[in-house]
Chain A
Amino acid sequence: MFRLLPIPILLCFVFPIAGTAKVVDETGIDQQVREIAKTLRCTVCQTENIWESGAPLAHQMRDAIRERVMQGQSAEEIRAYFHSRYGSYIMMEPPKQGINWLIWLAPFLLLFGGGALLWREIKGWVMKTPAPQPPPTLDETSRRRIERELHENQ
């Protein structure tokens, strides 16, 4: 009987929480707004996109995106509008042009350069390490002495 007691207790915890759970009812427009907003940087919080930011300006930008989506503008047109107002700074993903190429290529260049350096260093260590030498041969006197001492200890 007592073994079943945890079940109603657990249900008491689960159902109130389930009752407060939000039902996400996202329309096609909401989805488009979200997709576009995630690609634009919040200009006042700087490290967040405008979908995730709670800043009033980000909220207004989301409204502006929604308005333009409802007018039938494409995602590229909307992004181009924001780019024309704020420049490349607003793009979460810097456009592949000019000095921005450095940002895109730097990780690969660093990886390649770092790999080449590491290869060179390891190769240097290997070259500098002397080859293992064979153990020195025993002269006759030493060999006889070892054999004698082993024999005495048996």
Chain B
Amino acid sequence: MTRTTQITILVVLFALLALFYQGLWGDPRHIPPVLVDTRAPVFEGPDVESGDPLSSEQYKGKVILVNFWASWCQECKVEHENLLRLYDEFKDHPEFVMVGINYQDEIPKARAYLQRYGSSFPHMQDVKGALAIDFGVYGVPETFVIDKQGIIRHKWIGPIVDGVYANLTQNVLTPLLSDPTPALRQGSGQAT
């Protein structure tokens, strides 16, 4: 067997091993999100604190930041202060809405969490976990940004901290909020 053949075989074997490694032990954070640039699903459910019904339909034509969280999630606690800061930064913009979706949680624990860490924007219950599946959620925290036309423009898996916060506010939210394109949302984008 010539040296070139031996090297070719080794290269092919290593390439296959790398593919198998990526496929079996790959971090879901690095999997390309399929929902970005597609229509956001309609999401509705009771408010975590008041129990009143909430629906994405009432936010039509606005830029919506959706954050999936849970009281048992440590990374959610890490980002919570930043979420409150982010809401404070954009809350006066008439076209900005922020909604938390409580994921795989017990309501008393979720309420206690919000009382302890603070709550300035509405939080929706994902009663059967169906909203999380509609959004293709792997775990919490996960954050989505939906534009005025109802299209998901950004997804982030993991806590909103440091550089992620800066990127989200400066490169995602600010351009979307300053986009003069009128809301063209027609009908709903219910996941089917």
Contacts and interface: CB of A to CB of B under 8 A. Distances in A.
Interface of A: 43-44, 46-47, 56-57, 60-61, 63-64, 81-82, 84-87, 89, 102-103, 106, 110, 117, 120-121
A64 B24 contact: no
B191 A85 contact: yes
A76 B170 CA distance: 41
Contacts of A117: 1, 5, 9
Q: Is the interface of B mostly helix, strand, loop or mixed?
A: loop
A75 to B, nearest CB: 15
Nearest to A86: B136
A44 B27 CA distance: 10
Nearest to B24: A47
Given A85-B35, A106-B16, A121-B1, A60 B129 contact: yes
B191 to A, nearest CB: 7
Interface of B: 1, 5, 9, 16, 19, 24-26, 28, 31-35, 38, 104, 128-130, 132-139, 191-192
Given A46-B25, A57-B104, A85-B135, A63 B34 contact: no
A81 B191 contact: yes
A82 B132 CA distance: 12
Contacts of B136: 85-87
A57 B16 contact: no
Given A43-B28, A46-B25, A86 B34 contact: yes
A117 B13 CA distance: 15
A138 to B, nearest CB: 43
A9 B86 CA distance: 72
